[in-house]
Amino acid sequence: MGKHRRIIIFGNSLILGAVGASLRHCLEAEIIHLSRPLPEAQELSAMAPDVVIFDLDGPHPDSKLTLLLGQPNLLLVGVNPCSHEMLIISSRSAEARGIFDLVKVIQQ
């Protein structure tokens, strides 16, 4: 059995809803959906996320980047449904052809 993760999904677009629903079936994880207004970095840090997923085409709150400073093991993943790419803020990038590509990045 793998590590239980807490995943926060920012935004309420259709793609993010589908990502959250798919991850529920692929991972043993707590999935938390947040929409506007987004909490400040201190509030997010208190939630102790392992992964934060957001739509690259959507709003980019500064609080996500501030989280990286206090939690260097945090994985920030931006998804772009048009180009099938994920942007991993830790400076890694990967191709995202399906939900299993996202699961693989989260489990690394």
Kindly state the average pLDDT of the residues 75-103.
Answer: 75
CB 7 within 8 A of CB 103: no
Residues with Cβ within 8 Å of residue 72, at least 6 apart in sequence: none
Split at pLDDT 50, 70, 90, the class of 69 is low
Specify the pLDDT at position 91.
41
- Residue 78: domain span: 5-107
Domain of 56, CATH number, reads: 3.40.50.10850
Q: 73 or 61: which carries more pLDDT confidence?
A: 73
Return mean pLDDT, the chain: 77
Residue pair 106/27 in contact by the 8 Å Cβ criterion = yes
Q: What domain count does the chain have? A: 1
Minimum mean pLDDT range among 33-42, 70-79, 88-97: 88-97
Q: What pLDDT digit, counting tens, does each position of 1-26 carry?
A: 456 789 999 877 888 888 899 998 88
